[in-house]
Amino acid sequence: MTRFYLFLLNEFKLARTAIPIHMVAILQPSILFLFLSFILVHPTFKVNVSQPLMDEGHVLVEAMEQVGSPIGADYIDPIIVDSKELGDLRQIITVKERDGVPTAVQQYGLIDSNQVKNLRNRLTAAALHLWNAELKGRALSIKEHTWLPYDAPYTVYFGMALLPMAAFVAAAIIGGVLTAQDFELKTTLEYRLSPVSPVLILGARLVRLVLSSLLSACMLLVVAGLVTGFWPGNIWRLGGVLLTIAIMASCMGIILGLLFRSTIPAYISGLSLALAGWIFGGGFALASGFGGVYERISRLTPNAHAVELCFPAFYRVEIGNPLRSALVLIVFSVISLSLLFFTYRWRVTKQAY
Partner 1 sequence: MAEDGSTGLLSYRSVNVSERKNSMESVINVKSATRRFGTLVAVNGLSFEVKRGELFGLLGPNGAGKTTTINLITGMLRKDAGEIWVLGRDPKTDARAVRECIGLVPQETNVYADLSALDNMWHHAALYCKDLSGVKERIKELLVLVNLWERRREPVRTYSGGMKRRLALARALLHDPEIILFDEPTTGVDVQGKHVLWDHIKEQQAQGKTFVVSTNDMAEADVLCDRLVIIDHGTAIALDTPENLKAALGRDIVTMRTTPIVEDAEALFAGLGIQAVKRPESGQLRFEVTNAETLVGELVSRVTASHHLESIRIARPSLDDVFLHHTGRALRE
Phi, psi values for residue 97, rounded to 5°: -95, 125
Work out how close the CB of 262 gets to partner 1 at its nearest, in angstroms, rounded to a whole number.
16
Nearer to partner 1, 84 or 186 (CB): 186
Binding partner 1 (rule: CB under 8 A), the pick from 56, 58, 65, 191 is 191
Among positions 124, 187, 272, 321, the unique one binding partner 1 when judged by CB under 8 A: 187
| 81 in Cβ contact with 49 (< 8 Å) | yes
Is residue 174 within 8 A of residue 210, CB to CB? The reply is no
Q: Which stretch binds partner 1 (CB under 8 A): 33-41, 89-97, 183-191, 254-262?
A: 183-191
If one asks whether residue 20 binds partner 1 (CB under 8 A), the answer comes out as no
Q: Sort 248 into a burial class: Cβ within 10 Å, 0-12 / 13-18 / 19+.
A: buried
Is residue 10 close enough to count as binding partner 1 by CB under 8 A? yes
345 binds partner 1 (CB under 8 A): no
- Residue closer to partner 1, measured from CB, 16 or 98: 16
Instruction: For 196, list phi and psi in degrees, rounded to 5.
Output: -75, 145
Please tell me the distance from the alpha carbon of residue 183 to that of residue 262, in angstroms, as a whole number.
7
Q: Is 321 in the site for partner 1 (CB under 8 A)?
A: no
Based on the shown chain and the rule CB under 8 A, indicate whether residue 115 belongs to the binding site for partner 1.
no
Residue 185 binds partner 1 (CB under 8 A): yes
Instruction: State yes or no: residue 63 binds partner 1 (CB under 8 A).
Output: no
CA–CA gap between residue 59 and residue 343 (Å, rounded): 68
- CB closer to partner 1, 42 vs 261: 261
Smallest distance from partner 1 to CB 351, Å: 5
Q: Tell me whether residue 102 or residue 198 sits nearer to partner 1 (CB atom).
A: 198
By the 8 A CB rule, do 204 and 178 touch? Answer: no
Q: Write the burial class of residue 70 (CB in 10 Å: 0-12 exposed, 13-18 middle, 19+ buried).
A: exposed
Q: Is 290 exposed, middle or buried (0-12, 13-18, 19+ CB in 10 A)?
A: middle
What are the C-alpha distances in Å from 210 to residues 8, 12, 216, 242, 252? 12, 12, 10, 9, 12
Distance (Å, whole) CA 80 – CA 84? 12
Q: Given the complex with partner 1, which of 174 and 246 has the nearer CB atom?
A: 174
Does 14 engage in binding with partner 1 (CB under 8 A)?
Answer: yes
Label the pairing between strands 45-50 and 76-81: parallel
Site for partner 1 contains 190 (CB under 8 A): yes
Site size toward partner 1 (CB under 8 A) is 25
Q: Which is nearer to partner 1, 17 or 338 (CB)?
A: 17
Q: Quick one: which segment of 195-203, 258-266, 293-301, 328-336 binds partner 1 (CB under 8 A)?
A: 195-203
DSSP string for 94-162? EEEEETTEEEEEEE-SS--HHHHHHHHHHHHHHHHHHHHHHHGGG--------SSSS---HHHHHHHHH
In the complex with partner 1, the residue whose CB is nearer, 113 or 351, is 351
Interface region with partner 1, contact rule CB under 8 A, candidates 20-28, 188-196, 207-215, 304-312: 188-196
Cβ proximity to partner 1, 17 vs 272, nearer residue: 17
When asked if residue 193 is in the footprint of partner 1 (CB under 8 A), the reply is: yes
- Among positive and negative, which fits the CA dihedral 341, 346, 348, 353? positive
Q: Which of 114, 140, 147, 353 binds partner 1 (CB under 8 A)?
A: 353
The least CB distance from residue 254 to partner 1, in Å, is 17
CB 181 within 8 A of CB 263: yes
Residues in touch with partner 1 (CB under 8 A): 2-3, 6-7, 9-10, 13-14, 16-17, 185-187, 189-196, 201, 351-353
